[in-house]
Amino acid sequence: MKKKNKIQGSVILALLFLSSITYGQMDFSFEFQAYPTGLIPGLRIEKAFKENYAFHLRLGYNWIRHQDFGEHEDERGDGYGFTLGYKRYFKEGHKGFFIGARNDFWFNELDWKDNIGTPGERSGTSKITVVQPTLETGYAFMKNNLIFTPTVAFGFEFNVKTEGEPTGEGAVLLLGINVGYRIQ
């Protein structure tokens, strides 16, 4: 009997939590970011809270072409990951200019080559777990419930776990755009 009550209590708490998340303003959007050595498409959910603040979650794909900017002459690969972020809007209604902080977590696999085209050419594959904190700014335009948001972000890419040889990491500048729908 106690186990059944615990399960029912857990289900009720989970439903209350989910209803509090979905109650109120939420944005559902497609996000695309480009940086000098890659492209990141993703799906994003943003949840407004208080008058000028919001949290967001993105699930994305990272297409990487480090070329010779990394540790090797050619580094290329891809991976999946997610983003957690926070924004502060300066206009009521969660629109207009904003600043924010976000952190990406990527699980990438990169193929690399050195001494390309020579008898000493060598290659390999590295699996990299990346943490990428960034600061972001942008402007959210709204028409009816449609949202269009250009963004710019700057941060650092840290390889926190590497299986194989090290690959490129460091400063990153990202230009982005979000296109989505707001539920109020």
Question: Is 111 inside a domain boundary?
Answer: yes
Phi, psi of 148 (to 5 degrees): -135, 120
- CA-based nearest residue to 27, from 50, 45, 42, 52: 45
**Both ends of the chain: CA-CA distance in Å?**
41
What share of the chain has pLDDT > 70, as a percent?
Answer: 87
Domain containing 54 — which CATH number?
Answer: 2.40.160.20
Range of the domain at 58: 24-183
Name which residue leads in pLDDT, 10 or 27: 27
Q: List residues bridging with 133 in a β-sheet.
A: 103
Q: What is the pLDDT of residue 184?
A: 80
With cut-offs at 50, 70 and 90, classify the pLDDT of residue 20: low
pLDDT at 90 over 90: yes
For the segment 101-111, what is each residue's pLDDT rounded down to a tens digit?
Answer: 999 999 999 99
Residue 108 lies in a domain: yes
Task: Quote the number of domains for the chain.
Answer: 1
Q: Is residue 95 part of a domain?
A: yes
Confidence at 19, pLDDT banded by 50, 70, 90: low
Lowest mean pLDDT among 4-8, 61-65, 132-136, 154-158: 4-8
What SS3 state is found at 95? strand
Tell me what the mean pLDDT of segment 68-91 comes to.
93
Q: Identify whether 159 is part of a domain.
A: yes
- The predicted model gives 161-179 an average pLDDT of 95
In a domain, 14, yes or no: no
CB contact at 8 A, 171 and 154: yes
Is 25 or 176 the better-scoring residue by pLDDT? 176
**What 8-state DSSP symbol labels residue 118?**
S
Residue 96 domain flag: yes
| 32-77 per-position pLDDT tens digit | 999 999 999 999 999 998 889 999 999 999 999 987 788 888 999 9
